[in-house]
Amino acid sequence: MLLYIKSLYAYRGFILGSVKRDFESRYRNSLLGGVWNLLSPLATIVVYMVIFTNLMQARLPEVNADFAYGVYIFSGVLAWGLFSEVINRSVGVFVNNANMLKKLSFPRLCLPIVVVLGSAFNFFLVFLVFLVVLVVLDFSPGVYMIAVIPLLIIQLMLAASLGLMLGVINVFFRDVSHFMVVVLQFWFWFTPIVYPISILPEAIKSFVLLNPMTGIVSGYQSIFVYHRWPDLNLLLTPSLLAIVLFLLAAKVYSARGSEMVDEL
């Protein structure tokens, strides 16, 4: 593990340069450039606020604020967006960069790291827009926002570990990438993003609580909607799973990583 860390640090310039090139390539030949990365989430927030607050008159239990349900949904979408982006991009990261892996000599782990950093940067931009909207609506979470940091650590560790493991497996079994598209669609609705978990029957609620993203998404919603600390009991499952997946991903990469180039 220490050897991997040293090699990644030695190639830190390559990693940061790749993140920058990836961001710039998204908006090449675009008049507004990276501004689109801010306008898109802003438009989404406005849509949620207008549709669910004004048109559908949706309300949440325990919260009387006008925009609470819109904030509730976007908090969940924000958390899910980072998680799904890391996994979706990580699954195909080795296959999509096959030519680079064959022609250049560099630690293969650089590629998943680039994915995680790039996705985290996109999340940060959307997060800033979200915070500005909350301040304008007088719905700022205040000191509770500090709890986003441990949530992010757990979330990124979970997504990066799962993504790395699937990315390696996808080199040998290309159906993995297609399979995960379907899995993530079901996983989204299996996570309490557009509905409060409190409205579910007890039997279904117990099943949903096994979902590691339930605790993470609920943590974001606790901070931004209910203005309270995340429930530590709900974070136990994703925390333990993140550690297990990290160890499992390290084992899979160590066992099959050297064989990937021959399969690409």
DSSP state of 245: H
pLDDT at residue 14 tops 60: yes
Q: What's the rounded Cα separation, in Å, for the pair 187 and 184?
A: 5
pLDDT surpasses 90 at 167:
yes
188-229 tens-digit pLDDT: 999 998 888 888 888 888 889 999 999 999 999 999 999 999
The H-assigned helical ranges of the chain are 2-10, 12-26, 36-48, 68-91, 93-96, 98-103, 110-136, 148-172, 175-189, 202-208, 212-224, 232-256, 260-263
Q: Which residue's entry shows tokens 């669609």?
A: 185
Which amino acid, 220?
Answer: Y
The pLDDT, as a whole number, for residue 35 is: 59
Average pLDDT rounded to a whole number, residues 133-139: 86
Assessment of whether the complete model's pTM goes beyond 0.85: yes
What pLDDT shows up at residue 33?
A: 54
Residue 234 has pLDDT above 90, yes or no: yes
Residue 247 has pLDDT above 60, yes or no: yes
Please report which confidence band the pLDDT of residue 157 belongs to, taking 50, 70 and 90 as the band edges. very high
3-state class of 97 per DSSP? coil
Q: Give the bridge partners for 63, in sequence order.
A: 60
Each residue's pLDDT tens digit, 28-74? 655 555 556 666 666 766 776 666 665 545 567 667 777 788 888 88
CA angle 212, 167, 95 (to 5 degrees): 150
Assess contact for 133 and 45: CB atoms under 8 A.
yes
